[in-house]
Amino acid sequence: MASSETGGRVFADLMRLAEVVEPGQPGWTRRVFSAEYLRSRELVWELMESAGLEVRRDPAGNLIGTLEGTDAQLPALILGSHTDTVAGGGRFDGPCGVMAAIEVVRRINERGGRPRRTIWVVDFLGEEPNDFGISCVGSRAVAGHLSPEHLQLTDRSGRTLAEALAAVGGDPDRIGEACWPEGTASAYLELHVEQGSRLEEAARGLAVVTAIAGIHRAEIRLEGRADHAGTTPMDRRSDALLAAAEVSLEVERLGRREGRGVATVGRLELEPNSPNVVAERAVLIAEYRSGDAVWLATTDDLLQEVVENAPARRGVRGSLAWLSREEPTICAEELRSVLLESAREIGEEPLELPSWAGHDAVQMAAVCPVAMLFVPSRGGRSHCPEEWTDPEQVEVGTRALVAAVTRLAV
C-alpha cells in the first residue's frame, strides 16, 4: 500500500475518533470516565478488530489488541498510547499513537504472514490527570503501581476511583490481574506528538526521545476560617485564598530555581467560594517537572517548608500530600538506536531530545525497555483546541514506527 494512502488512513481514523466528544465542552474534550470516552472506545475496539487484532479489556480498563506471533516463547512487543483528553484538549495527543499502532498491524497483515514476535496494541485507560488526582491509571496498573489507596481516592462527587473504573468496564476487585508478570513484554514503543515547538523550529519531521522528565504532583490543603467579608477586620482574618495565592507564587519561584525545571499550580478549589465570605478552605494541585532527580528531591523538601510556613503567616494551617512522584525515565539506548535507524531508513534525519510531558511510557519502563518517537506539533500547541499535526507528518511517524516494528518483531 502506498505510504500516502497509509497516512490518509491513520489521519481519517483520528478524525473519526475526534467526532466523539463531550457536548458543551471546548475543543475535543473526551475525559476519562465520561460517557463519551466509553463510547469512543467502542470505535477503538472496532478499529482494532478490523485490523486483525484479538481484542480484550483487562481489569484496569485497558483495551489490548493481540496479533499472535509465530514464536510463542518470545515476549510480546507493545505498541500504544491513550485516547482520553484533557478538558478543552485536541485531537492528536495520545490518539495519534494508538491509531498509528493499529496501522502497523494493518500493514503487517496486508503484507501477508505472521510476525515472529506477538504484538500487542494497547489503548491505556486514563493517561491524563483526572478528578481523582492521578494520571496513567491503566499503565500504572500494568506496572503494578495502582495501589488500594489509589482506588479509594474520591472525586468532587464522592465517587471512588474504584467505582469509576467499574463504570467503564474495569474490575477493581481483580486489579492485581492487570499487572503484567516479568517477561511479558520485550519492549514498548510509543508514537506521540511533540507538544512543543523544537521539531517545527528545526524543520524536522521526527524526533527520538532520550528521556522523559520526572513529575512530582502534590495536593496542598489550606484550612482557614470562614467569616463575613464585610464585618471582619482585615487583621483578624484567616483567609485560605490569600494563603493559596502566596503558596502558588512560592511554587512558581521554586520552579524557576536554577533553570532546571518547571512548576505549575493547575487546580484551585475554594470553600465556600462565595463573594461575600472569607475563604475557609483552599485545595491546590501543584506539580514540578525536571529531568534531574536531585533537583526534584530538593524541591520536594523546599515545598514542604513553604506549606508549613507561608500559610501560617496568615493564621492558616497547611498540609501536603503527595499524589505521585515519578522520577525521570531514561529511554533504552538499544531501542533508541532502532528508532534512529528506522527514521533514516524512511529518509528522515531525526532530532534527539527529551520530553517534558509525561507519558504511559513512564509506567511501562517498570515492565520493559521503552522508547518514543515524536512528530511535530504546529506552533508547539497542545492540550488545547489548536493542537494540530499535518496528515503528512502523521504519515512519517507511522512509517517510522512500521520500520521499527519490522526490525523488532517481524
Model pTM? 0.86
Residue 1 confidence class, pLDDT cut points 50, 70, 90: very low
Are 85 and 29 in contact by the 8 Å Cβ rule? The answer is yes
Residue-wise pLDDT tens digits, 194-204: 999 999 999 99
- Contacts of residue 5, Cβ cutoff 8 Å, sequence gap at least 6: none
Residue-wise pLDDT tens digits, 218-238: 999 999 999 999 999 999 999
- What is residue 3's predicted lDDT score, i.e. its pLDDT? 45
Give yes or no for residue 295 having a pLDDT over 50: yes
Are 370 and 190 in contact by the 8 Å Cβ rule? The answer is yes
Query: 366-376: buried (b, 16+ CB within 10 Å) or exposed (e) per residue?
Result: bbbbbbbbbbb
Percent of the chain whose pLDDT exceeds 70: 98
- All domains of the chain in start order, with CATH: 3-213+329-409 (3.40.630.10), 214-326 (3.30.70.360)
Residue-wise pLDDT tens digits, 361-381: 999 999 999 999 999 999 999
Residue-wise pLDDT tens digits, 103-124: 999 999 999 989 999 999 999 9
Give yes or no for residue 2 having a pLDDT over 50: no
Mean pLDDT of the region 279-301: 96
Mean pLDDT of the region 239-261: 96
Average pLDDT taken over every residue of the chain:
96
Q: Where are the alpha helices (DSSP H) in 271-390?
A: 293-309, 333-345, 360-364
Residue-wise pLDDT tens digits, 124-139: 999 998 999 889 999 9
| Spatial separation of the C-alpha atoms in residues 166 and 180, rounded to whole Å | 20
For residues 259 and 408, the model is more confident at 408
- What is residue 5's predicted lDDT score, i.e. its pLDDT? 55
Residue-wise pLDDT tens digits, 301-322: 999 999 999 999 999 999 999 9
Give yes or no for residue 176 having a pLDDT over 50: yes
Q: Where are the alpha helices (DSSP H) in 78-229?
A: 95-111, 137-142, 148-151, 161-167, 198-202
The set of cell numbers assigned to 113 is 504472514
Residue (of 175, 157, 85, 153) closest to 323 by Cα position: 153
- What is residue 314's predicted lDDT score, i.e. its pLDDT? 96
Are 227 and 277 in contact by the 8 Å Cβ rule? The answer is yes
| Spatial separation of the C-alpha atoms in residues 28 and 25, rounded to whole Å | 8
- What is residue 7's predicted lDDT score, i.e. its pLDDT? 52
First to last CA, the chain: 18
Residue-wise pLDDT tens digits, 327-363: 999 999 999 999 999 999 999 999 999 999 999 999 9
Question: What letter represents residue 3's amino acid?
Answer: S
